[in-house]
Amino acid sequence: MHAKIYTMPTRYYMSRGSVKAMMVGFTPGVLIVVIGFLGLSSLTSFIVSFLGGIAVLIALWFGLTRGTYITIDEDDRLYNTFLFIKRDVIPLSAIISLDARHPLLLSGKITKVWNTYRNDKGKLVAKSLVSRQTLQVNEFRDLIDTIQRANPNITIADELLK
């Protein structure tokens, strides 16, 4: 058995640059949908719609900057939280591999990190962990190093170690 990696939870938040890029993409769509939903029949409905759209964007910004992160807790368990919703909790010792995948989105320039682990029933499960570009370089490196220290037998794609 290995020594505990952390004595308190450690979180890896999305970089501000990644959130800004997402918000630039979301803003026109959110405003169009909200304004279209509530209508343009009068100046009052337009203003209410516009302010509603701004409120949605502020909530989304807050959810991405403070409510979206990866946690490694004091019991050496890893889990993602997206918009304040906690996903599956995975013991670091159960992770078998970390792989790099390049979805067609943005011509494959995004590197998605997938972890393969054994769940409580012994079944192999592969889930997306994070897009490499959404974390600061030093935080991404620390995340990979932490997982590797907790489970030295893990297989990590060479691309993720660079």
Span 119-132, pLDDT tens digits: 888 899 888 888 88
Q: Indicate whether 131 belongs to any domain.
A: yes
Q: Indicate whether 139 belongs to any domain.
A: yes
Take residue 39 and report the two structure tokens written for it.
């209508």
Q: Indicate whether 15 belongs to any domain.
A: no
Q: Would you state the pLDDT for residue 43?
A: 76
Q: Is the pLDDT of residue 39 over 70?
A: no
Q: If pLDDT is split at 50, 70 and 90, which confidence band does 106 have?
A: low
- Its domain, for residue 111, covers 85-161
Q: Indicate whether 51 belongs to any domain.
A: no
User: Model's pTM, two decimal places?
Assistant: 0.69
Q: Would you state the pLDDT for residue 26?
A: 78
More confident residue, 56 or 7: 56
Q: Indicate whether 153 belongs to any domain.
A: yes
Q: Indicate whether 141 belongs to any domain.
A: yes
Q: Indicate whether 125 belongs to any domain.
A: yes
Q: Would you state the pLDDT for residue 1?
A: 47
**For residue range 42-78, what is the model confidence (pLDDT) as tens digits?**
777 777 777 888 888 888 888 888 888 888 888 888 8
CB proximity list for 79: less than 8 A, separation 6 or greater:
70, 71, 73, 86, 87, 88, 89, 90
More confident residue, 80 or 106: 80
Q: Would you state the pLDDT for residue 105?
A: 64
Q: Indicate whether 147 belongs to any domain.
A: yes
**Number of structural domains, the chain?**
1
Take residue 101 and report the two structure tokens written for it.
């995948």
